[in-house]
Structures are given as structure tokens and as C-alpha cells.
Amino acid sequence: MRSGEASRKNTTKLFENPNLFARALSEKLTGPWIEHAFEKRECIKFVAQPDSPDRCGCGRAMASHSQLALSRFSVFSQSVRVEEGTPWSIATHTQTSPTDAFGTIVFQGGAHAHKAQYIRLGYDSDPENVMYLMEKVG
């Protein structure tokens, strides 16, 4: 049997056994796939709330924002222009970037250590990718 036939036979075996297929995919697609499939959203312009001047429209405190987000200059793309005094909006005051926050958290302090997987993603992430991640990769 030639090597091409052997690899095709192994691939066919993977498709016949869903658990084997999912395991093979999760080994190949953990880090790089997650970084390409999911984006996080970051507030890029501090807009003070009328009732709480030290809190942004995104809900975070002023101290939790980057210096650039706090500056009077904006980091908006060429296609988005925001007038000063515009109310905070997720569409205009945030920007996406590939997620870099995912992994396993180990909770300690109880009788048994407990592990949980996490990922930071944007509200507009593809639900199909989220379901795939929850069902197959995790």
C-alpha cells in the first residue's frame, strides 16, 4: 500500500468516528484556530457617563482605559468619524482585534482544585464557532 492510500484510509477512519475526529481537530486547532476565529472588543475612546464622570460608557472606570483611549485624540479608522459629545456606542467606540485571552483557569482554596476553560470574545462572534469551541475543542 502506498503512503497516499494509507493517509486516505486514516482520514476515512477519522470521519467514521466523531470522537476521534474531534480529538484530532482539537489537537490541531487549539491556539492558532482560536486566535483566527475569535476577536475581542476593546474600548478605544473614553466617554464619561453623565451621572458618573469617572466611568466610561463601556462601564469601565477611567483607570481601566489605555492612555490612548483617554487622550483627546481618537484612534478611529478612516471610515468612522465621531463628533465630540457623541454618546458612547459599542459600534463607534470599540475596535476588534484577535483574541489573546483564552486558556484554563485553576481555582484553588477549596477541597479540590477546579479547572475551567475561558475565552474572551466579542458580542458579535460567530455562534457557529462558539458552539464548535464548546462542543468539540473544550
From the list 100, 105, 128, 127, the residue with the least C-alpha distance to 115 is 105
Using the predicted structure, report yes or no on whether residue 15 has a pLDDT greater than 70: no
| pLDDT value of residue 11 | 47
Cβ contacts of 27 within 8 Å, gap of 6 or more: none
Q: pLDDT tens digit string along 54-85?
A: 999 999 999 999 998 888 665 554 444 555 67
Averaged confidence pLDDT in the chain: 78
Going from N- to C-terminal start, the domains of the chain cover: 40-98
Q: What is the pTM of this model?
A: 0.61
Instruction: Give the Cα separation of 56 and 51 in Å (integer).
Output: 10
Q: pLDDT tens digit string along 18-40?
A: 666 666 555 545 568 888 899 99
Instruction: Give the Cα separation of 48 and 54 in Å (integer).
Output: 6
Q: How many CB atoms lie within 10 A of CB 18?
A: 10
